Structure 1
Amino acid sequence: MSTGINILMYHQVGDFAPMKGHRSTYCHHKRFARQMAYLARFGYTVLSMDQVLACLRGEMPMPPKAVALTFDDGYENFYEYAWPVLQKHGFPALVYLISDLLGQPSSWFAADGRDTPPLMSAARVRQLHGEGVIFGSHTATHAKLSEQETPRIREEVTRSKATLEDVLGAPVHHFCYPFGSHDRRAVDAVADAGYLSATTCIRAPATVADDPLTLPRKAISYGDNLLGYFWRLHVKNAPKRASIRRAGETFDALTA
């Protein structure tokens, strides 16, 4: 019987030249296609985040080789490169959106001297929602929450939810901490806003012992060939830190 679910973290999927830096925010589309074919061929069960929560609550059996696919920031290249592959295999996906930046460039890349690829527009989000993509919140402005004052944290969390629900005409149940940055105030704000799950950048499988508002994930990098992909799915991770909400502690940003 399985004891955990690998929640995989992607960012961009596209046609990228070889790179040395920031590799965790890129995945070449050919490698992505091979990774999804690997999951299909070798009997992995790709779960939606709602199914992940059901497994962790004991409401449905946890498959022996369970994964979930998440995509941070909501890049337009998800539509061109990732979604057709996911549709081919019938895999669900959860895309986290930055509500105030729909249809705009990913401006934070400029600080590193990188190109600023476009984020999905509201029209694209509605289109993909109609095709089966699930969307979650990645705050309103992509802020590092643990570095903000408490009122700003709550505004980022609640406004993004309201904006995205207006765009989609549907509830938004899932949240992702930008840069993995979270502390007790952020987790409490997410809980008070009514989200059912929230993901971090803590590298480990999700288990029944995890708080659903601080779920771990495993980042997929530009350099991950199939051997590296297998390693990420099966390597035994170091022990995780205790859940913020259960332990009652506050700590600084945790990043990939």
Structure 2
Amino acid sequence: MSTGINILMYHQVGDFAPMKAHRSTYCHHKRFARQMAYLARFGYTVLSMDQVLACLSGAQPIPPRAVALTFDDGYENFYEYAWPVLQRHGFPAMVYLIADLLGKPSYWFASDGRDTPLLMSPERIRQLRAEGVDFGSHSASHAKLATLETPAIHEEVTRSKAILEDVLGEAVNHFCYPFGSHDRRAVDAVAAAGYTCATTCVRAPATPADDPLTLPRKAISYGDNLIGYFWRLHMKNNPKREMIRRDGYTFADATA
């Protein structure tokens, strides 16, 4: 029986020219298709984030070669390029949405001269939810939470939850820290808002020892061919940084 789950972090999936910078936020659609085919061919179990929680809590065993697929920011190109591939394989996916920016461009790319791809509209989100995509919150404005005053952190996590629950007509229980930026205040705010699960950018497999509100993930980059993909799936990673926990266990700020 496995003791860990590789939660994989994607951002955009699309038709991108070769690049040297910002590669961690892009995945070419042809490589993505090969990566998903690899998971299917070699017997990986792709879990929903609800199933991840159940496994980590001990409610069900962690299957061998367990992975989960998460997509930050909620880009429209998920619908065109990633979702058809996921549907073909029957793989679940979690997409984290920026509540104030639904249907708007991803403004934060403009600061370094990149194109600002469109984020999903409420209509698209409801369509994809009906087709089986899971959605969580990526805050209200995509702010680095650990840099904010405490009241602003609470505003980001609670308001985003309310907006997305109104769009979806159901509870939103999953959160993802923008840029991976979180500290004890942010984790406490996410807990107080009623989320049951939150993901970071700390690179390691998720295990039952992790706090469900600071789960680590492994980023998939533009440059990851199948050899690199295999390496990310099977490496233990650099020793896991001390993780923030709410039970008094050792913790450290984990911004990225």
TM-score, normalised to structure 2, is: 0.97
Q: Distance in 2 between matches of 1:104 and 1:153?
A: 22
Q: Which amino acid aligns with 1:184?
A: R
Give every structure 1 segment of 4 or more consecutive aligned residues whose post-TM-superposition deviation is greater than 6 Å. none
| Aligned match of 2:42 | 42
TM-fit CA distance, 1:94:
0.2
Instruction: Provide the secondary structure at the position in 1 that maps to 2:53.
Output: helix
Q: Which amino acid aligns with 2:110?
A: A
TM-fit CA distance, 1:242:
3.0
TM-fit CA distance, 1:247:
4.2
| Aligned match of 2:143 | 143
Percent identical: 81
Which structure 1 segments of 5+ residues have no match?
none
Q: Distance in 1 between matches of 2:254 and 2:63?
A: 32
**Counterpart mapping for 1:116-135 below 5 A:** 116-135=116-135
Task: Provide closer, same or farther for how the CA distance between residues 228 and 39 of structure 1 changes in structure 2, counting only shifts above 3 A.
Answer: same
**Counterpart mapping for 1:145-160 below 5 A:** 145-160=145-160
TM-fit CA distance, 1:252:
4.3
Q: Distance in 1 between matches of 2:197 and 2:128?
A: 21
TM-fit CA distance, 1:61:
1.1
Q: Distance in 1 between matches of 2:51 and 2:253?
A: 30
Report if the CA contact (8 A) 1:184-1:248 is conserved.
no
- Note the aligned Cα RMSD (angstroms): 1.1
Q: Distance in 1 between matches of 2:201 and 2:247?
A: 18
Q: Which amino acid aligns with 1:211?
A: D
Q: Which amino acid aligns with 1:65?
A: R
Instruction: Provide the secondary structure at the position in 2 that maps to 1:254.
Output: coil
TM-score, normalised to structure 1, is: 0.97
Instruction: Provide the secondary structure at the position in 1 that maps to 2:247.
Output: helix
TM-fit CA distance, 1:243:
3.0
TM-fit CA distance, 1:174:
0.2
**Cα deviation 1:38-75 (Å, max 9, x = unaligned):** 00000000000000000001111111100000000000
Report if the CA contact (8 A) 1:36-1:85 is conserved.
yes
**Counterpart mapping for 1:168-183 below 5 A:** 168-183=168-183
**Cα deviation 1:148-203 (Å, max 9, x = unaligned):** 00000000000000000000001101000000000000000000011010000000
| Aligned match of 2:53 | 53
Q: Which amino acid aligns with 1:201?
A: C
Report if the CA contact (8 A) 2:13-2:78 is conserved.
yes
Which structure 2 segments of 5+ residues have no match?
none
